[in-house]
Structure 1
Amino acid sequence: MAGMDFPSAIQAGPGLLLIHGWGLVVNKDCKIGSNVTLFNGVVLGRKDTITAEGRTTVYPVVGNDVWIGAHAVILGVSIGEGAIVGPGSVVTKDVPPHCVVVGNPAKIIRRDAYPDVVNRFAV
């Protein structure tokens, strides 16, 4: 009814905040840390690599204190603790801790960012 695909069995830490969740899509096998903020239209999806030997599937891992802006797409990569993913970004490579990434494909524009935690839950 809320216009989102958010499995009830998701692996997420305390303090998860969904801002305007419309259009949110979260794969059931991704892992979300504590104090994470997700805006509308965010996709946390799997990434498949197909070779002659077969298919390899990986799922996103989102660290603690991460802020992910509206309509960002994160495909099978890790987002480091305290990172910020700008709205509309398409992330296909791991993001180091405390970095800000933006764009399609996402690129690091800052490496010493302070976490933007809206709904901090003591862990």
Structure 2
Amino acid sequence: MGYLTMRYPQNIFLGEGSYVNGGGMLCASSNARIVIGRNCMISYNTHFRTDMHRHDDVTIPMISQGHDHKDIILEDDVWVGFGAQIMAGVKIGTGSIVGAGAVVTRDVPPYSVVGGVPARLIQRRSPL
């Protein structure tokens, strides 16, 4: 599990104190970035994809419709659990937690805990 696949590594940015464990994929594109803030923890087997297949025209085969490309942004102090998938265009707010196996398809507000497929809000984090 020590390997990590990266596509367009010149468009992947990792903040100070952050780490990404192995077994996963960070798939940026030529015109979309993956930006991971400071002090983030990315667990094993996670997948980040800045592109998605187009499928809006039913008269054209999906394979021929190309892709949309959108940045993925993780703010500071985010924890992404084992096997989670972060999809194109998602912004995960400061201090948030993404549960193991979650598929995140929309933005996550700061200090949120999300999980499931698709990911949904489970709880809000607050000071002790």
Shared fold (TM-score, shorter chain, > 0.5)? yes
Query: Is the 8 Å Cα contact of residues 4 and 23 (structure 2) preserved in structure 1?
Result: yes
Query: Which one-letter code corresponds to 1:44 in the other structure?
Result: F
**Residue aligning to 2:45:** 41
- TM-score after normalising by structure 2: 0.76
Ranges of 4+ aligned residues in structure 1 off by more than 3 Å: 6-9
Query: Is the 8 Å Cα contact of residues 82 and 113 (structure 1) preserved in structure 2?
Result: no
64, 76, 95: which is aligned to 1:64? 76
| Aligned equivalents of 2:4, 2:67: Cα separation in 1 | 28
Q: Deviations over 1:52-94 (max 9, x none)?
A: 6x85311211110000000000001111110000000000011
Structure 1 residue 105 corresponds to structure 2 residue 114: no
- Residues paired across the two proteins, number: 112
Gapped regions of structure 2 (runs ≥ 5): 58-65
Question: Which is richer in helix?
Answer: 2
| Aligned equivalents of 2:38, 2:5: Cα separation in 1 | 20
Gapped regions of structure 1 (runs ≥ 5): 115-123
Q: C-alpha root-mean-square deviation of aligned residues, in Å?
A: 2.3
- TM-score after normalising by structure 1: 0.79
Identity of counterpart residues, as a percentage? Answer: 33
| Aligned equivalents of 1:33, 1:22: Cα separation in 2 | 18
Q: Secondary structure at the match of 2:38?
A: coil
Larger Rg: 2
**Residue aligning to 2:106:** 93
26, 34, 41: which is aligned to 1:30? 34
Task: Please state how far the C-alpha of 1:99 moved relative to its aligned partner.
Answer: 0.2
